[in-house]
Amino acid sequence: EVSPDYPYMYVSVNASRLIDESIYQEEEEGVELVLYNNTQGQLWILYESTEPVQPSYGEDLLGDGIWEHDQFITLSVERPFVDSGQQLYLWAYDQDGQPYLRTWSGGEGRVLIYTEADQVL
């Protein structure tokens, strides 16, 4: 169980999973990013962009949903983008339109945590 109430997290790796070929097939298709909302509030919009400027349009990755505080979501990134080395800009907006920005590129970790420090002023 993963919870922000626990100061430590322990992970067990099962050796049989290390040689499971389905893991490598998923890798060939792309990667799954885990995005965590730790902003102390709700996020209403999520855009992805390959440009460092705030997008004024695009597909809201949350659709009609609201991303609650302390909630995880996943985002699939296709293999060609991962291999390109490009930077992915993930813009989230709260109900007041305040933007939050996290960036990711292929060689980085797969968990992105949005906090109040990610606000773009």
CA distances from 14 to 10, 23, 33 (A): 13, 13, 21
pLDDT at residue 54 in the model: 82
> pLDDT tens for residues 44-59?
999 999 888 888 778 8
The CATH number of 30-118, from 3.30.230, 1.10.10, 2.60.40, 3.90.320, is 2.60.40
Mean pLDDT of 2-20: 45
Q: What are the boundaries of each domain within the chain?
A: 30-118
The answer to whether residues 45 and 54 touch, using CB atoms and an 8 Å cutoff, is: no
Q: Which residue has the tokens 């292929």?
A: 106
pLDDT at residue 5 in the model: 54
Q: Please state the φ and ψ torsions of residue 72, each to the nearest 5 degrees.
A: -100, 145
Strands 99-104, 30-38: pairing kind = unpaired
Query: What SS3 state is found at 84?
Result: helix
* Residue 78: closest CA among 88, 92, 90, 67: 88
pLDDT at residue 11 in the model: 44
pLDDT at residue 19 in the model: 42
Tokens of 21: 């070929």
Mean pLDDT of 90-106: 94
Asked whether the predicted pLDDT for residue 105 surpasses 60, the reply is yes
pLDDT at residue 107 in the model: 79
Asked whether the predicted pLDDT for residue 67 surpasses 60, the reply is yes
Cα 35 vs. chain centroid, distance in angstroms? 3
